[in-house]
Amino acid sequence: MKGLYLRRIWPVLASVALAAGLAACSSGSSASNPATAATSAPELTNITVGVLLGSDGVTIQIAQDKGFFKQEGLNVKTVVLPTTNAATTGLLSHTLDFSTENYVGMFAQEKAVPGLNLRIVADNDQATPNLYALMVAKNSSITSLADLKGKKVAFPAKGFNYGSMATNIQLQPYHLSSDNFTTVALPFSAAPQAVATGTIDAAFTTEPFITIMESSGARELVDLLSGPLASFPVACWGTTAAFVAKNPKTVAAFQRAMAKAVRLAATDTPLVRQELPKFVTTMKPQMASVITLPAFNSTLTLARMQRVADVMIRLGALPANFDVKSMYYPPPTGA
């Protein structure tokens, strides 16, 4: 069992609705990135990127601290978002040029808003064991997913989102779904107290809240991203089709910088743990040293994107003809 706790909790790693920007240009099919030369000067020097203060977002801190953005001619300003929903307004109003993205929410937004024209420009990470879990109180009578029937279960938001998707997949062997329990909308930061007092029966959560809850005696009911969802893609970086069309060299520069940062994160775990308190200033080094980290992945592929879409199609959250390829904007050659 993990010890330690945070004095304060950072804003959530949203697994809920995903940010996007409405593009004025046509979506069409996927396009190859034309800005392939590493020496191509970006159209924009100053860019603004929306970030969420979770462990996977540390890659942008690494890119800053290692000078990867400066090497590409970019000066990056980050804006902390409370949830990925906030990125929608930023991308639409052009106050954000890029934002951290959640694959599930991104696809849901693309379906919900005609002509949204989102583009995924870089991968970031995928799930590792015990990174996302349903937690229950120490003395809870709930011992399996089947026991959730009729109970109150907390998620950061109601409706279809990352947590509800994972829960529904794991409930299928029990012939149950989220319709069989009451969903309570509750921020990750409020879940530990709600579980401890019995206000809710279970909570979907992620790190550092899993570690915090375990330190006070709560237990993990199930690792949600296990079995059929093992190594499931989690987060990526996105922008709009309009921004890509207008600034292809800027996008290519951002892709190259992030690819370097994600590759470094994937190979240097001590560095990630060292950088985390810089990125999430409310996180103490002791907590950064013990929390479960995601698996960082710099390779953006259609296959990984399609895996997410296939699960959503299976649950009825996307139509069978959902066009993943149109959202795929691969990095430049050599990135």
Q: What's the CATH number where 54 sits? A: 3.40.190.10
Residue 137 placed within a domain = yes
3-state DSSP assignment of residue 335 = coil
* Residue 99 counted as domain residue: yes
C-alpha to C-alpha distance for 179 and 270, rounded to whole angstroms: 42
- Measured CA to CA, the distance from residue 89 to residue 20 in angstroms comes to 8
Are residues 269 and 289 in contact, defined by beta-carbon separation less than 8 angstroms? Answer: no
Q: Is the pLDDT of residue 6 over 50?
A: no
The DSSP string of 249-312 is: HHHHHHHHHHHHHHHHHHH-HHHHHHHHHHHSTTS-HHHHTTS--PEE-----HHHHHHHHHHH
Distance CA 15, CA 64 (A): 25
Residue 250 contacts residue 74 (beta carbons within 8 Å): yes
Mean pLDDT throughout 244-266?
96
Asked which of 197, 229, 261 is the last residue of a domain, the reply is 229
Alpha carbons 81 and 11: distance in angstroms, whole number: 8
Tokens 């990867």 label which residue? 68
pLDDT of residue 85: 66
Q: Does residue 53 share a domain with residue 121?
A: yes
Contact 164, 183 (CB under 8 A): yes
**3-state secondary structure at position 116:** coil
Residue 122: which domain range? Answer: 46-127+231-327
Q: What is d(CA 281, CA 284) in angstroms, rounded to the nearest whole number?
A: 8
Residue 172 backbone phi and psi in degrees, to 5: -55, -40
Q: What percent of the chain has pLDDT above 70?
A: 87
pLDDT tens sequence across 269-305: 999 999 999 998 888 999 999 999 999 999 999 999 9
Residue 165 per-residue DSSP state: H
Q: Residue 12: its pLDDT value, please? A: 34
pLDDT (0 to 100) of residue 313:
97
Q: What is the dihedral of CA 52, 54, 59, 63, to 10 degrees?
A: 60
Q: What is the CB neighbour count within 10 angstroms for residue 332?
A: 21
User: What is the widest separation between alpha-carbon atoms in the chain?
Assistant: 61
Q: Are residues 176 and 221 in the same domain?
A: yes
- Residue 245 identity: A
Question: Distance between terminal CA atoms of the chain?
Answer: 40
Residue identified by tokens 């800005």 is 35
* Predicted local distance difference test score (pLDDT) of residue 10: 37
Region of poorest pLDDT, from 26-35, 122-131, 242-251, 324-333: 26-35
The identity of residue 163, as a single letter, is G
Instruction: Please give the pLDDT value at position 33.
Output: 56
Tell me which of 211, 229, 247 is where a domain ends: 229
Per-residue pLDDT for 28 more than 60?
no
Residue at which a domain ends, from 213, 229, 245: 229
More confident residue, 109 or 293: 293
pLDDT at 161 over 90: no
Number of domain units in the chain:
2
CB 112 within 8 A of CB 23: no
Contact present, 202 and 153 (Cβ < 8 Å)? yes
**Shared-domain flag, residues 254 and 166:** no
Residue 1 lies in a domain: no
- The answer on 224 and 139 residing in a single domain is yes
Same structural domain, 140 and 270: no
pLDDT-based confidence at residue 84 (cuts at 50, 70, 90): low
- In this model, does residue 145 exceed pLDDT 80? yes
Same domain, 63 and 51: yes
The whole-number average pLDDT for the span 245-269 is 97
pLDDT at 50: 94
pLDDT attached to residue 102? 84
pLDDT over threshold 60, residue 39: no
Pick from 50-59, 102-111, 250-259 the range whose average pLDDT is largest.
Answer: 250-259
- Give the range among 32-36, 153-157, 313-317 with minimum mean pLDDT: 32-36
37-61: average pLDDT: 87
Q: Which residue has the higher pLDDT, 333 or 95?
A: 95
Exposure string for 243-278, b = 16+ CB within 10 A, e = fewer: bbbebbbbbbbbbbbbbbbbbbbbeeeeebbbbbbe
Could you give the percent of the chain with pLDDT greater than 90? 68
pLDDT bracket for residue 158 (50, 70, 90): confident
In a domain, 322, yes or no: yes
What is the per-residue pLDDT for 61?
97
Contacts of 131 (CB under 8 A, 6+ apart): 206, 207, 225, 292, 293, 294
